[in-house]
Amino acid sequence: MMLNISECRVYRYYADFLNTIPDGALVVTKEHTIRLANEAVAHIFGYAPGELIHERLDCLIPKAVRSNHKKHLEAFFGQPKSRPMGKGLPIEFLGLRKDGSLFPVEITISPLEIGGELFAVAIVRDSTERQRIEQRIRRELEAERSRALTDDLTGLANRRYFHDALNHSIQVHQDYQEPFSLAYIDLDGFKAINDNQGHQTGDQLLQRIAAIMKRSSRSEDTLARIGGDEFALIISNASKEVAATVLNRLHKLVSEDLTADHIPTSMSIGWVHSSQLQLDSYRDLMHAADEAMYAAKNSGKNAVFNYKDIANQRRRQ
């Protein structure tokens, strides 16, 4: 296409202007040919300054989306107005660099008329760094959330997390009749170890026991440290028989480990299944499991007691 002197001056004016803006900028014809491209957009896509002029726009678009992009551009020329592309969408719009690599971009297209001819002006921003920052912020927020819900000493869930998890289990049971169990776990003789051997030894013992319990618990269950030497376990979507198996295995593994090293402490576990009482509240469940745990202690400690065992113990007394 031959341009007269006046049109050349206009194009030169726009070319100079585009090179003053920090963002990448393209001027594209109805035929999808790049008429103008500033140095910033050439740098973004890995081209030398001026190398994109008169190239097809397809060279900047991944093959998989070229046909779809062509439809959008034709729709734009049919009804030109400013519109964002890629910004705010669940899937980032991808650009294609000269070296074949893909990267996320934000593009805003606006109409421009030069000498009676309509063009599309695309303002392009490489959003790789923004996306990297957003991902880092998400990771940091998730880590902070995890720290807020994790016991610092043992790495288990803390009391706050446990409270929410138990209330969730109660709600799921009420809505869908999904069975679960709650176990209250207390260490026997731990205070004496703390007093006689020091808090560092006590902390190491808590970490050791917590690690064993975590390994012996199911991945779908919630194990939490809710006090100094007190733990709780929510056994999700399980019958009484399954819950009993989980707790007996946990108790056995901890007991074997402590006995092997002659550590003078043991574990009393009290637990209740969702079928054994009217589920009215968090408080009711905790009280029932706590009662069962104290029944285990009163029986001589180092035992696993179900809520129903309390009545049997009282009858024997």
* String of DSSP letters for 197-225: H-HHHHHHHHHHHHHHHHHHS-TTSEEEE
Q: Look at residue 144 and tell me if it is in a domain.
A: no
Would 37 be classed as within a structural domain? yes
Mean pLDDT, rounded, for 187-211: 95
If asked whether residues 161 and 287 sit together in one domain, one would say yes
The whole-angstrom separation of Cα 9 and Cα 201 is 83
- The amino acid occupying position 169 is S
Residue of 77, 36, 83 lying closest to 57 (CA atoms): 36
Q: What are the phi and psi torsion angles at 62 (to 5°)?
A: -55, 140
Residue 145 binned pLDDT confidence (cut-offs 50, 70, 90): confident
| Residue 224 is assigned to a structural domain of this protein | yes
Point out the domain boundary residue: 132, 158, 182.
132
pTM recorded for the entire structure: 0.63
Per-residue pLDDT of 90-134, as tens digits, reads 345 899 999 999 999 988 888 988 878 899 999 999 998 888 888
**Same domain as 232, residue 201:** yes
Which residue did the predictor score with more confidence, 39 or 147?
39
Is residue 138 included in any domain, yes or no?
Answer: no
Q: What is the mean pLDDT of residues 61-90?
A: 75
Beta-carbon contacts of 5 under 8 Å, excluding residues fewer than 6 positions away, are: none
Question: Domain for residue 295, yes or no?
Answer: yes
pLDDT at 92: 59
Q: Does residue 125 share a domain with residue 182? A: no
Q: Domain for residue 139, yes or no?
A: no
Check pLDDT > 90 for residue 225. Answer: yes
pLDDT bin (cut points 50, 70, 90) of residue 305 is: very high
Q: Which CATH number characterizes residue 26's domain?
A: 3.30.450.20
Shared-domain flag, residues 312 and 165: yes
Q: Residue 122 half-sphere exposure, CB side, CA atoms within 13 Å?
A: 28
Q: Is 46 left (phi over 0), alpha (psi -120 to 50) or beta?
A: left
Give the per-residue pLDDT at 218.
94
Average pLDDT over residues 80-99: 66
- Give the CATH number for residue 292: 3.30.70.270
pLDDT at 287 over 60: yes
Say whether both 111 and 162 belong to one domain: no
Same structural domain, 120 and 175: no
User: Quick one: 123 and 36 in the same domain?
Assistant: yes
In a domain, 143, yes or no: no
Average predicted confidence (pLDDT) for the chain: 89
- Confidence (pLDDT) at 137: 87
> Number of folded domains in the chain?
2
Residue-number span of the structural domain to which 49 is assigned: 5-132
In a domain, 137, yes or no: no
Q: Are 78 and 128 in the same domain?
A: yes
Same-domain check for residues 303 and 224? yes
Q: How many CB atoms lie within 10 A of CB 6?
A: 9
Band of pLDDT at residue 3, cut at 50, 70 and 90: very low
CA of residue 206 relative to chain centroid, distance: 28
Q: Are residues 181 and 275 in the same domain?
A: yes
Give the residue from 99, 132, 165 where a domain finishes.
132
pLDDT band at 2 (very low <50, low <70, confident <90, very high): very low
pLDDT for the residue numbered 317: 56
Query: Domain check: are 124 and 174 in the same one?
Result: no
Rounded to whole angstroms, the Cα distance separating 18 from 25 reads: 6
Domain boundary among 132, 161, 176: 132
pLDDT of 146: 82
Whether 39 and 91 share a structural domain: yes
